């Protein structure tokens, strides 16, 4: 049973446009969410996180939106750059992340075309 | 580079041998996590350790797998009597405290012949 779902395996976007990556979760106990970016043969790199007490968090070109009633979050990247091409993972945790174990989605491969 | 250091980057073992994967957390981080990633899958949590203590091992297979994080030295993930199904990328992450974002190493790719 997959508790964190990224239903789009891939996404292609033109450079300069907005990239929107989506993530759905089923466990209502999740209250802390993170996005990671991963290049081939490297480890995931932390991008941005959001606590369930917020509905939006912004850091430079990256914004995460959380819709608790829909159990849905999204990562917006604007403007998209070719260097953003990578696999993006959504992850969730309970108890404010203090539980330690992150539950990951399967990832969405983003391709940003020049 | 003060990031999470994992070694070796690649490890090849024959069935029945032992595999030892090492992880040195970021400076100042005392919480370590191990994850496994199978091809085309997301990362799956295995174990969460703090210095000398296992906090949560709910994702660890009951047999053949063990982990430690001694007072001195790196964290070790040990797999005894490896089988083909153990082939995967194993990632270690660390954080300064509970509830803080986890920062990952570049992983160890384990291949079982």
Share of chain A above pLDDT 90, in %: 90
Cβ-based neighbour number of residue A41 at 10 Å: 11
Give the distance from residue A99's alpha carbon to the nearest chain B alpha carbon, in angstroms: 7
Interface probe with A: pick from B43, B54, B60, B69, most Cβ of A within 10 Å:
B43
Inter-chain CB proximity B91 and A43 less than 8 Å: yes
Give the distance from residue A48's alpha carbon to the nearest chain B alpha carbon, in angstroms: 9
A4 touches chain B (CB under 8 A): yes
Q: Which residues pair with B47 in a beta bridge?
A: B34
Q: Strand, helix or coil at B56?
A: strand
Minimum-distance CB partner of A98 among B43, B59, B98: B98
B36 touches chain A (CB under 8 A): no
Terminal CA-CA length for chain B:
33
The residue whose two tokens read 């779902």 is: A5
Burial class of residue B28, CB neighbours in 10 A (0-12, 13-18, 19+): exposed
Share of chain B above pLDDT 90, in %: 84
Per-residue pLDDT of B83-100, as tens digits, reads: 999 999 999 999 998 888
The tokens describing A110, both together, are: 């983003």
> How is residue A78 annotated by DSSP?
S
Per-residue pLDDT of A4-56, as tens digits, reads: 999 999 999 999 999 999 999 999 999 999 999 999 989 999 999 999 999 99
Burial class of residue A90, CB neighbours in 10 A (0-12, 13-18, 19+): buried
């Amino acid at each position: 049973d997959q508790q964190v779902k990224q239903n789009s395996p891939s996404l292609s976007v033109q450079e300069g446009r907005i990239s929107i990556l989506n993530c759905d979760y089923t466990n209502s106990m999740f209250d802390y969410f993170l996005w990671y970016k991963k290049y081939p043969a490297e480890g995931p790199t932390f991008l941005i996180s959001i606590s369930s007490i917020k509905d939006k968090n912004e850091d430079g070109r990256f914004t995460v939106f959380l819709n608790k009633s829909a159990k849905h979050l999204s990562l917006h990247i604007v403007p998209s750059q070719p260097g953003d091409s990578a696999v993006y993972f959504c992850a969730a945790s309970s108890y404010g992340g203090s539980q330690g174990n992150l539950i990951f989605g399967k990832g969405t491969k983003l391709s940003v075309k020049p | 580079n003060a990031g999470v250091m994992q070694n070796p980057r690649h490890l090849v073992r024959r069935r029945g041998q032992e595999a030892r994967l090492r992880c040195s957390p970021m400076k100042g981080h005392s919480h370590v996590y191990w994850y496994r990633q199978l091809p085309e899958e997301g990362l799956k949590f295995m174990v969460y350790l703090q210095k000398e203590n296992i906090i949560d091992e709910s994702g660890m297979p009951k047999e053949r797998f063990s982990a430690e994080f001694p007072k001195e030295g790196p964290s070790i993930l040990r797999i005894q009597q490896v089988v083909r199904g153990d082939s995967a990328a194993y990632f270690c992450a660390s954080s300064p405290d509970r509830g803080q974002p986890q920062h990952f190493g570049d992983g160890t790719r384990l291949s079982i012949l």
